[in-house]
Chains A and B, each alone.
Chain A
């Protein structure tokens, strides 16, 4: 039930963001600091979320170096191609391959 409520709350909050400037547009502009924070929010938030999730997974017993290698391969692949999707395209097969080869 909590998960449903969270999803509804995020949906409602997101809708308020979407309608906010339509309501306020004629009255005031966006504060510059909020405009800048909005641009920065995605990379900063995603970095925090990815780090938290990876650290949790890597701390699990029996984890090998395969996820670390997959992470490195993913970063290199994205840097070389500029395409975010190559993180999964290159990283997941690396993970599968090394997980099969490396002892746990």
Chain B
């Protein structure tokens, strides 16, 4: 960062603190939605048939709730390791888009900064980060706002997963927590059914997932994802409204 930041106007300690706090405050509204999500992931990690620590580690290592859910769900269902990895990574394809978004702001920064900052690229950090670069007086201020937001997000995310994983093992079977993740996933899909392409892709994925239940190694899910994506992409982009 020094290569870039030394070219920027010297910032006071108060200004740096202001930008860090501004980033943390901008992240605060996101935490309302993120905390329950982290709790659900922690509980599902504790309830799944995998070591709770492995599920918990998905927090700091994967740091993307959707892919964490996919990973835990696939492992719990007994999917082959490669199938679980491919399914989880397909959920995270959007991170490539986010990487392109942040690349506009991080051009010319030192590699250590890019390597570190990239670790935290995920939906809320990109939203807060892009907004922070627009609001900050200079690029350094934008970097600090991103850092403040990401630090807040990371602590809250890992804390929520930890709480969920801790209490999750002691919860009675009568709560039917095995339905938490499927219902959660349904909740994430329904609001996204806004375009013809998504609706067709989801419909094909559902049909293929039902038909593919008898495919060994849980490859049925991958077949369903692939079929759904192909069907969605077959809708001409100009018709995909």
Contact = CB atoms under 8 A, between A and B. Distances in A.
Interface of A: 2-11, 13-15, 17-22, 25-26, 29-30, 33-57, 67, 70-71, 74-75, 78-79, 82-88, 91-92, 95-96, 99
Interface of B: 33, 36, 40, 50-51, 53-55, 57-58, 61-64, 66-67, 69-71, 73-75, 77, 81, 84-85, 87-100, 102-104, 106-107, 114-115, 118-119, 121, 174-176, 178-193, 197-198, 201-202, 205-206, 208-210, 212-213, 218, 220-221, 224-225, 228-229, 232-233, 237
B205 A51 contact: yes
Contacts of B85: 6, 9-10, 13
Grouping DSSP codes into helix (H, G, I), strand (E, B) and loop, the A interface class, with mixed when no group exceeds half, is helix
Contacts of A67: 176, 179
A48 B96 contact: no
Given A67-B179, A84-B190, A88-B40, A6 B71 contact: yes
Contacts of B221: 48-49, 52
A34 B181 CA distance: 27
A39 B123 CA distance: 12
B51 A21 contact: no
Given A18-B99, A49-B185, A88-B40, A7 B73 contact: no
A24 to B, nearest CB: 8
